[in-house]
Amino acid sequence: MLIELDVNGRRQRVDVDPDRTLLSVLREELELTGSKYGCGEGECGACTVLLGARAVRSCQTPVAKAAAAPVTTIEGLEREGRLHPLQQAFVDEGAMQCGYCTAGMIMAGVSLLKSTPSPTTDQIVRGMNGNVCRCGAYPQIVAAIERVASEGKKP
């Protein structure tokens, strides 16, 4: 089936089985491998992308459903070579070890900051709890989100 997607501001058509996951289409057909496979069961958040302003698990999203709203992946955050403030904050806070969870963490964090621009620590912790960092960089990830919130930059 021919499906039209808006990914990172570009319209693209893919001819795939509509049941395929958005994650596999992003990674295999569109070569956007920034979104990761960590579990395929909706439990780790490594595959998180934005559908509209909402963070979704792309491993649980049939690609046909993603045609409904613009998709933003980690590759779509940079603007003219400038990192999104949360990407920059992850670098500055050292909020990664192996970095495999990072894309999903940033996308979940961007969505959190969109809905709650000045979250409390508790709101961050609860809002991010669906994302796993097996390296345990959680304290640094919380610090990165707090840094953006306190800088008051527009997320």
Partner 1 sequence: MTTRRDFLKEVGGGLVVVLVASRVPALATLGAEPSLHAGEADDTDRISAWLHIDERGAVTVYTGKVEFGQGIRTSLTQHVAEELRAPVESIRLVMGDTELTPFDMGTFGSRSTPQMGLQLRRVGASARELLIGLAAERWKVERSRLVAENGRIVDTQTKRALGFGELTAGRRLTETITADVAPKPATAWTIAGSSLPKVGARDIVTGKHQYTSDMRLPGMLYGRVLRAPQMGATLANVDTSAASAVKSAVVVHDGTFVGVAAPSSAEAKRALEAIRPTWTPPSEPQPSSTSVHEHLKRSSSRASGRQAGGEGGGGAQPFVHGNVDAALASADHKLARTYTVAYIAHVPLEPRAALAQWTRGAEGDRLTVWTGTQRPFAVRDELVRALGLVPERVRVIVPDTGSGYGGKHTGEVAVEAARLARGAGKPVKLVWSREEEFRWAYFRPAGVIDVGAAVSEDGAITAWTFDNYNSGPAAIRPSYAIANQRVAFHPSDSPLRQGSYRGLAATANNFAREMHVDELARLVSMDPLAFRVKNIEDARLRAVLEAAAEKFGWGKKPERGNGVGIACGFEKGGYIAACAEVAADRASGAVKIVRVVAAFDCGAVVNPAGLRSQISGGIVQGIGGALFEAVDFENGVVRNARLAQYRVPRFLDVPEIAVILINRKDQPSMGAGETPIIAIAPAVGAAIYDATGIRVRSLPMARNGLGASTT
Region of 35-43, 50-58, 110-118, 147-155 interacting with partner 1 (CB under 8 A): 35-43
Rg of the Cα atoms in the chain: 15
- The reply to whether 34 sits near ligand FES by the rule CB under 6 A is no
Query: Of 75 and 153, which has the nearer Cβ to ligand FES?
Result: 75
Closest distance between partner 1 and the C-beta of residue 55, in Å?
15
CB of 37 to partner 1, least distance (A): 7
Give dist(CA 108, CA 128) in Å, integer. 7
Handedness of CA 54, 116, 135, 31 (dihedral sign): positive
Q: Quick check: 76 binds ligand FES (CB under 6 A)?
A: no
Distances from the Cα of 128 to the Cαs of 21, 61, 101, 149, in angstroms?
22, 19, 12, 15
Q: Which is nearer to ligand FES, 30 or 153 (CB)?
A: 30
